[in-house]
Amino acid sequence: MALPLNTNIKISLLSLKHFQKLKMFHVEHFANHKFSNQSIKAFLSLDHYKTFGALTNDSQLIGYIVFTLAVDEADIVFLGIHTQFRRQGLGSKLLNVPCGTFSISKTSLEVSAQNVAAINMYRKNGFKVTSIRRGYFSNETDALNMIRYY
């Protein structure tokens, strides 16, 4: 069941102190997209990764985005929203964190060609498909390379 999104959602940069919270959140909501503990720690601590979370008043994590930042280009590693808070604009809000927070000229990403929800969200936010990578993912599905320039 969808839950109404409180307007007081805070988008904050996450750090290693959020490791357990982020890990539990990811395991609970994105079981088919596995990350090792080492990867999650890297997202939260290495300089070139930026991880922002959407937090409720009572500090519940309900979405997050990880991207890399190199000079003026961002590349999205993962973006996910709590299953009960989807379709209320939060994914789009997090998607706009890189360009809203840093001075960048381009954001890129790879998304499974089967992930209709994500592809629609990216298109709605100005991303365009620039190439297709056949059999890119481990289960042989294709990936769409999508880019937005600013």
Ligand X SMILES: CC(C)(COP(=O)(O)OP(=O)(O)OC[C@H]1O[C@@H](n2cnc3c(N)ncnc32)[C@H](O)[C@@H]1OP(=O)(O)O)[C@@H](O)C(=O)NCCC(=O)NCCS
Chain residues binding ligand X by CB under 6 A are 30, 78-81, 86-92, 111, 115-118, 120-121, 124
* Cβ(123)–Cβ(116) below 8 Å: no
Name the nearest CA neighbour of 54 among 8, 9, 3, 5. Answer: 9
Min CB(119)–ligand X separation in Å: 8
By beta-carbon proximity to ligand X, the closer residue of 28 and 72 is 28
Min CB(67)–ligand X separation in Å: 10
By beta-carbon proximity to ligand X, the closer residue of 53 and 91 is 91
Min CB(141)–ligand X separation in Å: 12
Min CB(33)–ligand X separation in Å: 7
By beta-carbon proximity to ligand X, the closer residue of 85 and 103 is 85
* Cβ(117)–Cβ(80) below 8 Å: no
Cα angle at 126 between 144 and 103, to 5 degrees? 100
CA 64 to chain centre: 6
Tell me the one-letter amino acid at 8.
N
Q: Among all residues, whose Cβ is closest to ligand X? A: 91
